[in-house]
Structure 1
Amino acid sequence: MNRSDVPYSPLDAAPSTSDRDYKLKQRPTTARDVVPLKRSNSLSYKTVLGSELPQGIRQRDKFVPLPLDSSRGASPGRVEEEAALNEIAAVAPGASGRARITVYCVAESLDRRKLVDLLRIKHPAWQTHQYDDVVHARLEEVAPALPSTSGGAGAFTAATAVGPPDVFFFDYGVVAFWGLQQQQEAEILRSLVRAVESRPLERYDVDAFTFNISVSEPPHIQNDTITINRRQATDHQVRLAMSHALAQSTKLSVYEERVVALVEESRHLPQVLAQHGRVSMSTKKLAQLIGKVFLQSSDLNLLSTVMDTPEFFWSAPDQLQALYERACEYLELDTRAEVLNARFQVLQEMLDMLRDHKNNSHAARLEWIIIWLLMVDVILMLFQLLSLFGLV
């Protein structure tokens, strides 16, 4: 996976390469019978508290096939998508094309109501659809303020070899771009996303993939390239199904970085305890560290939608859910979340042990204080008795 930490401002850093490998808890099944997909999760780790994330778990060159295109019922924007597909065929019949997919985690959450209002005011020509956890915008026309792909003034064309550009705004603070250039993504982040961020991140977390339209290759994911056929090219729900997995992966990367920071902050404590038999950290600071671990763990497992199958798939066609499941398989989301939770568990157990050690030390200290006070009291009483008999 190509990814990097992009400074909050300016938004002009190119993504770099880094591998993340961690397991999503068991996803709830839908009312429909869905054929279960096999996941390659049989991994073992000698340690979960290393400064480096486990390497080599997710094989980027592995081949994960995607479901073949099948006829789907009408969906929001389906008529427009069919028209765009016909336009693509007329412009470049039988052609293949490649484009960027870039996913940014920008904040803890986005204000959906404010976002929808801004889209309506600033970009009324964009086609928008609202789903659970996500707002979709199809950029059939882009405001002149946005640079075009050719570098000149103007808007995007209605259709290219890979179809119209799409943007997916996820409620949990992730934005996924399909078919835009980096400067165009940065402009949308500046003009729209910053205005609706809630608890923005100091640095954006970015994942980059390639979107490939092919008339000869079967749909699949390999080498961080998503290959689909021309029939699927303009269906925004196909892109949405894939984007759900990509957005969850990028959000999960943020938690991975946070747990690594917590590991670095606390990894010296067991060694200090082993060498000196005590930890010099104050009770208050230890309690604060325990609170940090609990907050991150609860955010991931209780408050975040990263760990759940999006509600969109509860009523979506089976083909879309299969696309999502295959993308999760390629991204190793289950494995990554499993290791992430294992790290949280080990951190929590270690800090609980240190807290118990401090409590026991404090209790032992209080016991010795009581013993000395009793000894002083006995000595004073002895002197009083001796004084009664005139011996002192």
Structure 2
Amino acid sequence: MSWKEEQSPLLSINLSPPKNKIATLAQGRRTGAPQISDTIASRRAAYGGKKRLERLRAPVETGLEMPWTGRLSVYCTCNTYSLRDLFGNLLNKYPEGARRFGTRDVVHLRLPRMDGQDGEDDAVWWVGIEDPRGSDVFFFSYGVVVLWGLSEGAEWQLLDWLKNFENGRLEGEAEKEFLVYSYDHFSEEDLAKILEDQVCLSSSLSDETLVRVKLALSHGAAQSTKLGAFETAIDNVIDRTQALPAQMANQGKLNISQRELLKLSGELYMYKAYIHLQSDVLDIPDWFWDNEDVEPLYGKMARYLDIKPRVNVLNTRLETINSMYDLFRTELHVRTDQRLEWIIIWLIVIEVVLQVFGMFIGVTTI
């Protein structure tokens, strides 16, 4: 079997992927992800794939010559990946390219660039490895994959293969971030720079250091994309429920059935639990305890993608959801109390009627 044939199940290129390929990723089993009637569709595509705080940036003159740029793509497709099964599958296909890091919550796949023939038989073109130093893929346990230097067609193929290891697929489109990266000659102490959606890596780094640098940056990008999935979910719930408090203020009641109110309260509680159970993925990864030299790169990426301000905004929105949940719970109690009061009133009325009827029967018999 040729090298080309061996690699094709995972990374063969489809130069004309279906336009709805990403949408297709969001279909299938949905165990584990919160279920809502409206799909959780990514709204971030209109903002270039990032959901940063709105701000104006002045053009930056880098003075750097960047002859080659590669794709840096980040996708959040589900709640979690089955990393054990995923890693075992990769070991069978790429025994020398797959490995797990010490924290065991990240799987790394290294795909070296291999020179082939010119033209259509070029192995580099066929496999979709565009980075002259080889491509890297990082799979994070919390449902995010970061791809460095793959062609768009290769990304489609990998995402399609990755569906076999997803737990709790997101509804709607996969959450995504897109940047570009390049190499240039500058001080090795800097390791990497981030300028206007472009990551510039030092070309003098060794292969192992380069992987560590990419992983440090990938941690920040992956957390930003996971945070984006949380933001999209919360935005959707708030949009669907924001009219109800106004309805209570204007009409003094909610024009929804008891069953719908119970379902809505359960949905809000489910989202609260969903966010809180996974919020630890936004902490500084333990991997940096043994890799302090590249931790500043993680900080750079986190600041560039506004992770901390967005977390604060997310917490505020969670408090809003909590307030709405308390409001609906209070409304449920009020409705229950009112129903019990009416039951008691009708029982009293029935008792009075029976007594009056009994007195009437007694009088007529005399």
Normalised to the residue count of structure 2, the TM-score between the two structures is 0.74
Q: Does 1:200 align with 2:172?
A: no
Return the offset for 1:374.
2.0
Give runs of aligned pairs for residues 255-266 of structure 1, distance below 5 A: 255-266=230-241
Selected match of 1:211 from 178, 181, 202: 181
The match for 1:177 is 147
The match for 1:220 is 193
Q: Which blocks of at least 5 consecutive residues in structure 2 are unaligned?
A: 1-19, 27-44
Matches of 1:363 and 1:142 in 2, distance apart? 73
Give runs of aligned pairs for residues 1-392 of structure 1, distance below 5 A: 6-8=22-24, 17-21=48-52, 56=54, 97-132=68-103, 133-140=105-112, 152-155=121-124, 163-191=133-161, 193-202=162-171, 203-216=173-186, 219-232=192-205, 234=207, 235-317=210-292, 319-382=293-356, 384-385=358-359
Contact 2:72/2:181, CA 8 A, preserved across alignment: yes
Describe the superposition over 1:74-127 as per-residue Cα deviations: whole angstroms up to 9, x where unpaired.
xxxxxxxxxxxxxxxxxxxx9864221001112221111211121121223425
Matches of 2:118 and 2:277 in 1, distance apart? 41
AA paired with 1:374? I
AA paired with 2:54? G
SS of 1:7's partner is helix
Return the offset for 1:142.
7.1
Matches of 1:269 and 1:354 in 2, distance apart? 9
Matches of 2:265 and 2:119 in 1, distance apart? 52
Matches of 1:123 and 1:278 in 2, distance apart? 62
Task: Describe the shift of the 1:246–1:19 C-alpha distance in structure 2 as closer, same or farther (beyond 3 A).
Answer: closer
AA paired with 2:51? R
Matches of 1:162 and 1:259 in 2, distance apart? 40
Task: Describe the shift of the 1:365–1:194 C-alpha distance in structure 2 as closer, same or farther (beyond 3 A).
Answer: closer
Task: Describe the shift of the 1:373–1:60 C-alpha distance in structure 2 as closer, same or farther (beyond 3 A).
Answer: same
AA paired with 1:265? R
Matches of 2:80 and 2:319 in 1, distance apart? 25
Return the offset for 1:337.
1.7
Contact 2:185/2:202, CA 8 A, preserved across alignment: yes
Return the offset for 1:201.
3.0
SS of 1:109's partner is strand
SS of 1:362's partner is helix
SS of 2:22's partner is strand
- Quick one: higher RCO (CA 8 Å, sep 6+), 1 or 2? 1
Contact 1:167/1:177, CA 8 A, preserved across alignment: yes
AA paired with 1:176? V
Q: Which stretch shifts more, 302-311 or 332-341?
A: 302-311
Task: Describe the shift of the 1:300–1:388 C-alpha distance in structure 2 as closer, same or farther (beyond 3 A).
Answer: closer
Describe the superposition over 1:195-225 as per-residue Cα deviations: whole angstroms up to 9, x where unpaired.
2222233422221011132225864322111
Count of residue pairs brought into register by the alignment: 316
Contact 1:125/1:141, CA 8 A, preserved across alignment: no
CA root-mean-square deviation = 3.5
AA paired with 2:183? I
Q: Which stretch shifts more, 365-374 or 236-245?
A: 365-374
Return the offset for 1:241.
0.5
Describe the superposition over 1:216-244 as per-residue Cα deviations: whole angstroms up to 9, x where unpaired.
58643221112232234742011101100
Matches of 1:150 and 1:350 in 2, distance apart? 61
Task: Describe the shift of the 1:383–1:298 C-alpha distance in structure 2 as closer, same or farther (beyond 3 A).
Answer: closer
Q: Percent identity?
A: 27
AA paired with 1:344? L
Matches of 1:9 and 1:376 in 2, distance apart? 61
Contact 1:300/1:306, CA 8 A, preserved across alignment: no
Contact 2:113/2:135, CA 8 A, preserved across alignment: no
Matches of 1:129 and 1:369 in 2, distance apart? 64
Task: Describe the shift of the 1:281–1:131 C-alpha distance in structure 2 as closer, same or farther (beyond 3 A).
Answer: farther
Q: Which blocks of at least 5 consecutive residues in structure 1 are unaligned?
A: 22-54, 66-93
Higher helix share: 2
